[in-house]
Amino acid sequence: MDANWPIAIILCLLITLSLISLVILKKVELQMYFIDTALITVCLAFCALAYFTAVEAFFIGIVVYVYRLTDSNNIIKFVFLFSGIIIGYFTGNHFYTNTSVLILAIFIIIRLVESIIEISLYTPNTDPITELEDTV
């Protein structure tokens, strides 16, 4: 495997967008989306490390991390998002890798827009003191 710096830099940009989305999701307290986005961010980090260092063992980290920490409902999503990178590695065809990175970019941008919409609609929980005053 050769190092592919352009793909690695694009993945690092996607990691940055994903981290922004994580910060917003943490403020909004959407636990389900937060965990899902955190898993995707870690898998993107494994991919970026693999392409920066040209060590294909990092791809095994994606598979182990996803299948170990993901429930059965989200496995299909991760297979859809990251299978092109794995197939591109085994076949040596950059079409699969580039398509997978494009799909990941679209997914991360949609998740970021979702988080921005959620934070604009977010109303924090009411203060416990004002709840007590309303009941008295």
pLDDT digits (tens, 9 = 90+) for 21-46: 999 989 888 888 888 888 888 888 98
For 52, the token pair is 């920066």
Distance of alpha carbon 116 from alpha carbon 121, whole angstroms: 9
Residue type, 74: N
Q: Give percent above pLDDT 90 in the chain.
A: 18
Residue 128: per-residue pLDDT: 56
**Backbone CA torsion sign across 17, 19, 22, 24:** negative
For 21, the token pair is 């989305």
> Under a CB-based contact definition with an 8 Å cutoff, are residues 56 and 89 in contact?
yes
This prediction has a pTM of: 0.79
Average pLDDT, the chain: 83
